[in-house]
Chain A
């Protein structure tokens, strides 16, 4: 295994083919290569049916790859050891309705071999973190979608995991709920700075706001995997310059640094006053879907070319 300590997930040549009937099959994921570096927030982006959940379920050992290998924190999947490093939030989490939030967390804690005071303290901390302390003794059947999602995040954090895997964490939530979960993920990242967060979404805004790296899947194949900064950095960057002439204030849009430098020197010679220069940052959507160069930023192993 070529995996070093800087990698939390290593996916090597993984394919998953589902049998859908007699002689029929469907490709879930095809020859996927991916390395998730330690401590990064990595977004797995792609439309519905692109293989995001399949990839996550293979990492967890729920699905067996048809071919290829997956390792988590240096250990081959599937194994119980790999799951002791992972905190998992499923898409649309559901809990046994007859239990309270606290008893569920106690149950999950015991499955992680936690007990006694240590477990109680951890549960109190997590209930506080996800803002469920007031409802901890209520049965989960009375929980709203947002509360259920926050409880699911709490159970994922119970063992202070090295790797957090969130499958569509904002799915089905209203804008306020999404904002809550986003800020919670941000807080988790600051609480557990060593932990990697690997989450899937088809919402570009969430990925752009939370992730340091992004992997784009399309029809089960990896299209792009690189840092967000690298992806948003444009070869033909645009600048918006405000310049005050003797009569009025003009706003000019310039393409690239060469044009900017030339404009600034001309303005200086004419005696115009440059009041502001704004670099126009591309959106993730532009970078991924409008450039038509998806996949160009991958090296042969599927690892990003630029380490942030």
Chain B
């Protein structure tokens, strides 16, 4: 576990030096500015709309972070050959991948927290009432979503080129958000065996989305948060295991 921790620490330092990381920070600020502007323009339910936009900005940044950071972290190791000196030591490929994942998770959590604090600050400045519990729960669920997404990204990143990996990950994200809705509007889908398989493989991201609730200052039971945490753990384990198996079998040419 010490080796995993060492790799996580290096990943953390790497991400803190990463320009894309700052770009995402800039994007978050832009989203925040945009939502404040929209809030000013909207007459009715100004505070709710503002908060909803802010949370949507955080969610989008979180998604981009999961996809692009995950891919960058792994592809840079493989393309620049940094990985050669790590894997020539007695370190398993799974430990390497886990170290990267945990380092990324830590920074991602930090980014969400920072954006949450920024949201709080901006809302306070504009006299928008925020219920701390609902904001915290919403951010926590976004973090869970980010972790599931990152583990899915790793499956694609260890097998595909950067562009294909990003596209595939975003498709899975879209499917994970829309399967529930699609099933409601199209009853025939429920009978389709392909749909059943797809539903079993692709996570349901809708259950982790409580932006609208948070915008209205509503919260959920902690028991439900616990269940969602368990759901996240199972998903992460499943997808990460698939990524690790795939990574340990592939040839490394670097």
Which chain A residues have a beta carbon within 8 Å of chain B's beta carbons? 57, 60-64, 80-81, 83-84, 86-88, 90, 92-96, 98-99, 107-108, 110-113, 152, 155, 159
Contacts and interface: CB of A to CB of B under 8 A. Distances in A.
A113 B1 CA distance: 10
A81 B89 CA distance: 9
B251 interface: yes
Contacts of A159: 89
B252 A98 contact: no
Contact of A62 (B7, B82, B254): B254
Interface in B68-95: 80-82, 84-92
Given A110-B3, A111-B90, A62 B252 contact: yes
A94 B84 CA distance: 9
B90 A81 contact: yes
A103 B70 CA distance: 24
Interface stretch (B10-18, B152-160, B212-220, B225-233): B10-18
Nearest to A85: B90
B91 A111 contact: yes
Given A62-B253, A96-B14, A110-B6, A90 B81 contact: yes
7 contacts: A57-B253, A62-B87, A63-B251, A84-B89, A96-B13, A98-B17, A111-B7
A57 B252 contact: yes
Contact of A64 (B85, B88, B91, B251): B251
Interface residues on B, range: 20 to 34
B88 A86 contact: yes
Contacts of B13: 96, 98-99
A90 B251 contact: no
A108 B249 CA distance: 24
A111 B89 CA distance: 7
Nearest to A58: B251
Describe B's contact surface by its main secondary structure: helix
Given A84-B90, A93-B81, A98-B13, 18 more contacts: A57-B252, A60-B88, A80-B90, A80-B92, A83-B90, A86-B88, A88-B84, A90-B85, A92-B81, A93-B84, A98-B14, A98-B17, A99-B10, A99-B13, A108-B89, A110-B6, A112-B89, A113-B2
A88 B88 contact: yes
Contacts of A88: 84-85, 88
Nearest to B14: A96
Interface in B52-73: none
Nearest to A110: B6
* From B85, B89, B253, residue with most partner A Cβ within 10 Å: B89
Given A98-B17, A107-B6, A110-B2, A83 B80 contact: no
Given A63-B253, A98-B17, A107 B82 contact: no
Contacts of A84: 89-90
Contacts of B249: 64
A62 B89 contact: no
A7 B238 CA distance: 42
Nearest to A60: B88
A108 B90 CA distance: 10
A90 B77 CA distance: 14
A32 to B, nearest CB: 17
A108 B85 CA distance: 8
Interface in B83-128: 84-92
Q: Which of B82, B84, B252 has the most CB of A within 10 A?
A: B84
Contacts of B91: 80, 83, 111
A112 B90 contact: yes
Nearest to B79: A94
Contacts of A94: 80-82
Nearest to A18: B251
Contact of B85 (A57, A110, A155): A155
A63 B92 contact: no
The interface centre, meaning the residue of A62, A93, A99, A112 with most chain B CB atoms within 10 A of its CB, is: A62
